[in-house]
Amino acid sequence: MTGQPNPGSIVLGSCGPCQPRGAAAQARLEAAARCAQVGSLVASDWLTYLRCCLAAWVAMTHLLDWSVDQLRSWFRARRLPAYRGAQVYRWLFRQRARHWDDMTDLSKSLRAELADCFRLWTTQVARQIRAEDGTEKLLLELADGQAIEAVLLRERGRRTLCLSTQVGCAVGCTFCASGAQGIERNLSSGEIVEQMLRLQQLLDRSESISHIVVMGMGEPLANLNALLPALALARDPACLGISPRRITISTVGLPAAMRRLAREAPQYRLAVSLHAPNDPLRNQLVPANRHIGLRAILTEADRYYRASGRRLTFEYVLLQGINDQPEHARQLIRCLGRRTALVNVIPYNPIAGLPYRTPSARVQAQFGSILRDGGLRVEFRQRKGSSIAAACGQLRRAGHPAPGRAAPSKNDPDLVGSQRDPAGPSTAHHGTGYLEFDRTDGNQVQR
């Protein structure tokens, strides 16, 4: 067919550590290689060939899935200086290189070999939006066609990244857009790191990333196997070099995963999303709580505090007429007791299709005053990015609007009742999948 490239001229990466994992991926590569050996193709064969090449490309190793040490080992295996591993990552994170050819102190042949073995990017920026307050949001299309959102927050001297860890969310908080359509899958470590690079590209050369909050789409502790390597890369001096004190992981509270975090990575700041001072109300707002309970969550939060020595943060989305009454504030004081903690009160950010409203300024002030009088340290989160649906609870997959949901009745006496012990089965269903909430230690099981 005239005007078509010679299939035999297309080179597929096939070097040792870059071989795709699994028989299916290997079969795709072999099919593409067979197609590449065909001298001439009819139209239907050409389409098959292109599909095979695409599958082979998807099967290539994503560089950002590798640590700096792993890349050093890759260079050593080729009898090349191991320092090249850190050099490549410095190009990406420090020099903000976008292509292999930008790495001008690597030889042309080495850049070609890297390009054959590794994919630099697996996402595409489908949409970029900027708010008047400087907040920017990216809609990123993933290699499999799924989409996530990530946010850059600007506040005085801070430049904070808000990262997603899953496509969707299985927790199902009734006031949040992220889990409106359930969970599709976990993100890979590389897909989490790539959000950092994509957001960094929005900064001027004079600006640098100062903080990371893992508060985007998904439940971070349900994907610890990918999150922890991604954050380790963010901390690496060759990469962003961010102090763990400036990295906050938010969780709805998965006890087994919280124990694992205390054991393996106590250096980060932990923020526990409470949103209610008692189990009956939290069961309504955070359905996963029916299978966990506040008592278990607070026990593991205390364990993390002992392991880390870092002050805990408890997040509380304030919903008009639902959890914003003086009695709720007094219950929250009793719930948290004398813990060394900060209560981060988040006035609700409106989401189309959901029945909740933001409390008035007077109600917000009264709620905060009661907490402070009770000995708690309180901060109200600034509503940055709400005009572009980039604020807390507003991130979602493209094309997946939040369905209508009924708000808990403020007249239900159980919703201001006392805490009760957790009970019920160990699985929480929502959307397209479910989590084994009280058993997972950071690798979500979807059924």
76-105 as b/e, with b when 16 or more CB fall inside 10 Å? eeeeeebebbbbbbbbbbeeebeebeebee
Which of 250, 248, 232 is closest to 240 using CA atoms? 232
- pTM for the whole thing? 0.79
Asked whether residue 408 is domain-assigned, the answer is: yes
Which of 96, 98, 100 is closest to 84 using CA atoms? 100
Q: Are residues 34 and 88 in the same domain?
A: no
Q: Are residues 300 and 169 in the same domain?
A: yes
Asked whether residue 440 is domain-assigned, the answer is: no
- Our count of domains for the chain comes to 3
Asked whether residue 136 is domain-assigned, the answer is: yes
Write the CATH number for 100: 1.10.150.530
- Residue 398: band (very low, low, confident or very high) from pLDDT cuts 50, 70, 90: low
Q: Are residues 266 and 373 in the same domain?
A: yes
Q: Are residues 113 and 249 in the same domain?
A: no
356 in Cβ contact with 328 (< 8 Å)? no
Asked whether residue 441 is domain-assigned, the answer is: no
Asked whether residue 396 is domain-assigned, the answer is: yes
Q: Are residues 99 and 181 in the same domain?
A: no
Of the residues 113, 136, 149, 184, only one is catalytic, namely 149
Report the share of the chain in percent with pLDDT over 90.
Answer: 64
Q: Are residues 74 and 48 in the same domain?
A: no
Annotated active-site residue 392? The verdict is yes
Q: Are residues 256 and 342 in the same domain?
A: yes
**In this predicted structure, which of 78-92, 167-181, 255-269, 317-331 has the lowest mean pLDDT?**
167-181
Which of 202, 177, 199, 155 is closest to 381 using CA atoms? 155
Q: Are residues 20 and 94 in the same domain?
A: no
The parent domain of residue 30 ranges over: 9-59
Do β-strands 147-155 and 158-162 pair in parallel, antiparallel, or remain unpaired?
A: antiparallel
- Flag whether pLDDT at 110 surpasses 60: yes
Report the share of the chain in percent with pLDDT over 70.
Answer: 72
Tokens encoding 253: 């509270």
Q: Of all helices (H) and strands (E), which one includes residue 166?
A: strand 166-168
Asked whether residue 2 is domain-assigned, the answer is: no
Annotated active-site residue 176? The verdict is no
Amino acid 293 reads: G
Of the residues 162, 300, 392, 436, only one is catalytic, namely 392
- Flag whether pLDDT at 363 surpasses 90: yes
The DSSP string of 91-111 is HHHTS---SGGG-TTS-HHHH
**In this predicted structure, which of 198-212, 280-294, 342-356, 361-375 has the lowest mean pLDDT?**
342-356
Each residue's pLDDT tens digit, 52-107: 555 444 557 999 999 999 999 999 999 999 999 999 999 999 999 999 999 999 99
272 in Cβ contact with 301 (< 8 Å)? yes
Q: Are residues 40 and 107 in the same domain?
A: no
Q: Are residues 34 and 141 in the same domain?
A: no
SS3 430: strand
- Flag whether pLDDT at 34 surpasses 60: no
